[in-house]
Chain A
Amino acid sequence: MPSLETNLGKLLKLKNPLILASGINDSNAASLIRGAKDGAGAVTSKSCNVKGRKGHDPPVLISNEHYILNAMGLPNPGAEKMRDELALAVKECAKLGVPVIASVFGESAEEFAEAAQIVAEAKPALIEADISCPNTMNKTFFSDKPESVSAVTRAMKNATKIPISVKLAPNVPSLSLLAKAAEDAGADCITAINTMPGMAIDPIARRPILTNKVGGMSGPALKPISLRCVYEISRAVKIPIIGTGGIITGSDAAEMLVAGASAVGVGSAFYYRRNSFKLIAEELEKVMKENGCSKISDLRFQE
């Protein structure tokens, strides 16, 4: 029987490699605990900044069988409120053996650091720097230049002893250089990738659907992009990668682990299959039985 237990580098011990991705039913303690009870290996909270944000007015999300397009606009109650929710989640999820990851963002490296410092008080296992949200008019986007990736990573590393994962965007040239910049600046992990910028238009209404006009695409159509990004990053850095983007089935998860991820983010999957953690875990186990891998790390493709 293959084992789904795995490690995210030397950072986290996981009972399975499936991690609730940031932004999906994760804005309070009850939701995070629910993710843990539903079978997540780890759960990530909704990204928060120091001051909080209202987010965009609906329509903020549309979906079809191939993809989801959203422009939530990072709604969150602020880092202090989130810290309190996280503290409760950390305590309860620990009983289930499920680490909690806190996600933060800001409009400057200093704001990232300040938010990290606040959520660190809740003692999450990892803090993710969301430097790649496509829905805030570039105000919080730091994922396109090695210098800005380093600046945010360094500021966060100086602000807290808790390990840092840097979440990268797909729509950039030379992703491996950006991942390397994060690693060189002290990042402990990479989360890849954020949603892909996109747009939806209603031809009868003759206008963009989302109030923000443009959004980020996730869901099945994102998988080939995320696989390629994770593959490329895994060949450029030694730190572990949480591979995220279009993971709906156990086969998708296996593919991501083969590409070079150490764990897998699961988000949009919950629209397609409510019980995603359990189903993906079962299917992943089946794939491993079929290909003869006894542990998650065996899945990785060796050149």
Chain B
Amino acid sequence: MFYQHAKISKISEENPRVKTFILDCDLKTEPGQFLMLWIPESGERPMSIAGANPLTLSIANVGKVSASIHSKKVGDRIFFRGPLGKPFTFQSSYKRIVLVGGGYGVAPLRFLASAAAKKKISVKLIMGAKTKGELMASPDKKICETIITTDDGSEGQKGFTTDALTNLLADNSSTPDAVYACGPELMMKKVAEICKQNKIPCQVSLERIMKCGIGLCGSCSVDGKLCCCEGPVFTGDEALGVKEFGSPQKK
């Protein structure tokens, strides 16, 4: 058997574009990893993992396969292989971290926030969207403090997540031990640059077309590095070393 299979036990709508699917199984996985989701009648795509116990996927309706899972109901079955890829990592010395999520990039960061909270690391999540209606759900206050930004100011601070990050880092009394980002690539590039200027370690998660998911087909290669098995999480410095970082090439 190449695929594991699971049934959908709960579906919640995060916003008009994103649904979160809770499955009837657990997966041994770490935040930042992904799986290859197979919907037999429509195809297979890489999906970031939004939670492990139970396995949770937050999926934006952006294409054929995601539209197909969006049409599923509780009790329907999905197939997957994984977890795949390298996760976000913590140093044991970390006391506080900042997460920066844009759009549906927030999904794996909520999983990361829970994992960090379990390790007694204090977490601040900066979460942004274009407008109120495109925001993802905030994590529980017990897990982390959430700072919301919207481009149009319809909720939280008006502006970009990166503005909120700059403001946060201006306060020298609580400099984070590391910053983690997931979302639009231009946002992640800005985050990586801000962290570099402030000499704070940073990790970002690159999204590329992945066909095989196991480092053979090369469809996810960026400057010869393979996002599927050497990423998708890269350090800010590694990502800044990639020519196309910030403006992914369409293949």
A residues sitting closer than 8 Å to B (CB atoms) are 23-28, 30-31, 33-34, 46, 55, 57-64, 68, 70, 72, 75, 77, 200, 202-205, 207, 209, 211, 267-268, 270-271, 274
Contact = CB atoms under 8 A, between A and B. Distances in A.
A274 B43 contact: no
Given A60-B217, A61-B211, A70-B212, A205 B40 contact: yes
Interface centre among B212, B215, B225, B226, by most A CB within 10 Å?
B212
A26 B40 contact: no
Nearest to B229: A274
15 contacts: A25-B221, A28-B218, A28-B221, A30-B223, A31-B221, A31-B224, A58-B36, A58-B43, A58-B45, A60-B217, A62-B81, A202-B2, A202-B79, A204-B1, A207-B40
Interface centre among A23, A30, A68, by most B CB within 10 Å?
A30
B214 A63 contact: yes
Interface of B: 1-3, 5, 36, 38, 40, 43-45, 77, 79, 81, 211-219, 221, 223-226, 229, 251
A46 B43 CA distance: 24
Contact of B2 (A58, A200, A270): A200
A121 B91 CA distance: 50
Nearest to B42: A57
Given A27-B219, A58-B211, A72-B217, 14 more contacts: A25-B215, A46-B218, A58-B36, A58-B44, A59-B36, A61-B213, A72-B212, A205-B38, A205-B40, A209-B3, A209-B38, A267-B216, A268-B216, A274-B215
The A interface is mostly helix, strand or loop, or mixed, namely loop
Interface centre among A33, A57, A207, by most B CB within 10 Å?
A57
B3 A27 contact: no
Contacts of A57: 43
A64 B224 contact: no
A207 B77 CA distance: 14
A234 to B, nearest CB: 28
A193 B225 CA distance: 27
B224 A33 contact: yes
Contacts of B213: 61
Given A59-B44, A202-B1, A207-B40, A27 B221 contact: yes
Given A33-B224, A70-B212, A202-B1, A24 B44 contact: no
Contact of B38 (A30, A31, A59, A68): A59
